[in-house]
Structure 1
């Protein structure tokens, strides 16, 4: 379901809601929460001339429209949203917020097995499964940190013992490596170990896609010298179709924490 189809459903929802509201309404909020086949829907209304909102039972037909929207917005590997909050302001202005990571603020706890059912209906890659839903701990454990090269000669020249990157993958791989979010950056550049005569130009940065961490030197040596990254990292990026995933702020924080931990342990 693309943006146009989503807007069509939302307009149907707001039309249904506005026709069901009392004459003195000023603003209405409807929260829909789902996990597997378990759902909740609650609302409140701000009446004109009153200071506090009142509870409101939204039209039952909204449940099916929310469910249709949730299914249509599923993204393979990423899942779909778990909470949607629709706000309608008189006469016809609306906005909606989605949350696919945080545990919903349940009024009643979902039944046992709802989380497993959610992941069966809307599969997620491991890195996109929240910890409360059985995913990897938020401390960023088990995140591999790529090395720019395998070893070095006595004079410091890097040694690369890795498969070459196919020419047709090179540009897409470089774009992924260099455009991924930076979680750590120094205000200086380091020496090119393959060509020490060059001015220092190797970026002293660390990037992540939420699954791997790699230094900026990985992209640099591929771009400047055609030297490949670790084969496991290349396979991971190829498996993503060379498309960077959306990486939430809490994941970036976790990967940075893990990176600092790897420095202290190393």
Structure 2
């Protein structure tokens, strides 16, 4: 694929967005009221969904005009930045007669109809390069890159995320490389062998099985990382992988938990409670 063109100015981006809106219109009947277009891309892999709603409020899918596909591609290329790459998906909403809004997503994996092959994600990073620290873990995994290892300075503690984010409905979202099944038991054993620094008597609701209330409400530390009891619980019960950097850290210790002194435990408890 060719290299990205000169970045578009803010004014040029707005002009291109208006051109995209006008290019959609021939696909709709005169009575259209609302329009929603979603563009998803990784390298040469492109998916475009286009739908409109009329006076009855019912959404109807239509085939996107080729001009719309090409203009979205120009916009994506023109919005590339050397440090952060460019967006991977965009949702364009148009309301009669001419009001529009666009939402771009650069770091979360799009909801593909058909996930691209590895070469698609490799092409993405070659054509729209981004700083290594701006490549999310899911994209590294999809492109066949090794996990990025973040070192924790001596004496500092890092808190592991149970999951990455939440979707619009409030459900947990995880975009992480899967854990090798052969390592799962050893990881769980390590996570549950580290000393507890804070705990509650009751159990929490399982966010991946809302009918179950069996998630331990505790925090542990190995002197470098802090993690909630939910991390090992979800790994054991649902196969939910911990953060890649935490997995790398545990493997680098050969699954052996070191002694954690009282001062470090106190510091971990203070970080958890915000004291």
User: Could you state the TM-score of these two structures normalised by the residue count of structure 1?
Assistant: 0.52
Corresponding residue for 1:80? 86
Corresponding residue for 1:153? none
Query: Is 2:122 the counterpart of 1:116?
Result: yes
Corresponding residue for 2:15? 8
**SS in structure 2 opposite 1:91?**
coil
Tell me which of 58, 64, 71 is aligned to 2:64: 58
CA shift, 1:64, in A, is: 0.8
- Separation (CA, whole Å) in 2 of partners of 1:22 and 1:119: 39
Q: 1:131, 1:137 within 8 Å by CA — same for their partners in 2? A: no
- Separation (CA, whole Å) in 2 of partners of 1:69 and 1:128: 20
Write out aligned runs for 1:1-266 (5 A): 1-50=8-57, 52-134=58-140, 142-145=150-153, 264=268
CA shift, 1:147, in A, is: 8.3
Corresponding residue for 2:236? none
CA RMSD in angstroms, aligned pairs only:
3.0
**SS in structure 1 opposite 2:33?**
strand
**SS in structure 2 opposite 1:133?**
helix
* Deviation per residue, 1:178-203 (Å, 9 max, x gap): xxxxxxxxxxxxxxxxxxxxxxxxxx
* Structure 1 residues not aligned, in runs of 5+: 149-253
- Separation (CA, whole Å) in 1 of partners of 2:154 and 2:127: 33
CA shift, 1:21, in A, is: 1.7
Q: 1:26, 1:46 within 8 Å by CA — same for their partners in 2? A: yes
**SS in structure 2 opposite 1:124?**
coil
* Structure 2 residues not aligned, in runs of 5+: 1-7, 157-244, 250-263, 269-275
- Separation (CA, whole Å) in 1 of partners of 2:84 and 2:97: 35
**Shift in CA distance, 79/49, structure 1 to aligned 2, threshold 3 Å:** same
CA shift, 1:20, in A, is: 3.2
- Separation (CA, whole Å) in 2 of partners of 1:56 and 1:20: 7
**SS in structure 2 opposite 1:74?**
coil
Number of residue-to-residue matches in the alignment: 153
CA shift, 1:144, in A, is: 4.0
CA shift, 1:22, in A, is: 0.8
- Separation (CA, whole Å) in 2 of partners of 1:119 and 1:66: 18
**Shift in CA distance, 127/134, structure 1 to aligned 2, threshold 3 Å:** same
CA shift, 1:137, in A, is: 9.8
Higher Cα Rg, which structure: 1
Runs of 4+ displaced beyond 6 Å:
135-138
* Deviation per residue, 1:52-109 (Å, 9 max, x gap): 3121222121111001000000000210000011111011010111000111110112
